[in-house]
Structure 1
């Protein structure tokens, strides 16, 4: 009688249901970087490229050395490098590792995670290769409430963003919705038993 146990583990990391949604990540990265290249080449920094609907939507050229809503733009380069380059890179690698190992994500969850990853990598490319920061160019009027106690409700314009930011937000919302739907289905199934 042998004391050894033979375990056979053949992971199914690279299946079509996992790889096909990653096309979205690649498309987001490509679209994000192409639009940034076009903006940088054609619109001077802090310049206006185009305005639509009486200034409601504008294409402008700004750089953001911080993160969302320009948080951290005044921090030292060392702190920004760690918090805005290293940490997001590690998080994205972990997220993709979980994505590839997990067989329980729904198709909507897989596509949402791919869109978030694409947006994350799109902005990371800027953080690593553009010393001035992330290129932002989509600018919308925000109908602020002048007497609000909350500063963001008093803004005249929403903070400028880019394709990567939009992908992260839209896909993040879809991911949350998909988890809520999955929880409700699970609760309904448990209630039926």
Structure 2
């Protein structure tokens, strides 16, 4: 019982940090970056540029009809976030801490981008670009995208290992 309480608290804390860090950086981007302007922070490796994305990753779905876009970019992600949360805590009584952290980062990033879509007329604020030269670059993204990406990468690297395979004992 005690272990479950702390895991839930960590889950909620990581979600809070993910949402807060994303929303604060988006507010700064909105306040200080000029649309169309490019600021090279670390040469060509890290670039700041303001964009409002009506689509998903790399603008996918931006040209969908508004009703379809709402379903694909708001309703479906909301359902998936709920499924992620339920799956994490119903699958095991005491999920491994690393699973709690990765799922919380994915959920926190997802909640923050959903917040944007709901309160900014279907748009998400993006402002960062990483890469080398003109060919090897990311799309324009935000801190929520980083939380989601890093959480997903770690989850994939874990390969769905359960707490019993990680050597942790459920109490």
TM-score, structure 1 length as denominator? 0.76
Unaligned runs of 5+ in 1: 1-10, 145-154, 187-193
Change (3 A) 1:111 1:82: same
How many angstroms does 1:100 deviate by? 3.1
Counterparts of 1:143 and 1:51, CA distance in 2: 12
Matched, 1:136 2:126: yes
Quick check: 2:110–2:144 contact (8 Å CA) kept in 1?
A: yes
Unaligned runs of 5+ in 2: 166-171
RMSD of the TM alignment (CA)?
Answer: 2.4
Change (3 A) 1:132 1:62: farther
Aligned residues: 163
3-state secondary structure, aligned to 1:140: strand
Quick check: 1:85–1:127 contact (8 Å CA) kept in 2?
A: yes
How many angstroms does 1:97 deviate by? 2.0
3-state secondary structure, aligned to 1:169: helix
Counterparts of 2:11 and 2:110, CA distance in 1: 15
Quick check: 2:7–2:94 contact (8 Å CA) kept in 1?
A: no
Match of 1:59 in 2: 48
Report 1 or 2 for greater relative contact order, CA contacts < 8 Å, sequence distance ≥ 6: 2
Q: Please give the residue correspondences for 1:98-117 in structure 2 after superposition, counting only pairs within 5 Å.
A: 98-101=87-90, 102-117=92-107
Alignment deviations for residues 52-77 of structure 1 (CA, whole Å, 9 cap, x no partner): 23232111101110001211111111
Counterparts of 1:59 and 1:132, CA distance in 2: 22
Match of 1:178 in 2: 158
Counterparts of 2:85 and 2:120, CA distance in 1: 24
Which 10-residue stretch deviates more, 38-47 or 74-83? 38-47
Alignment deviations for residues 61-114 of structure 1 (CA, whole Å, 9 cap, x no partner): 011100012111111111110100011011111211222333152110111000
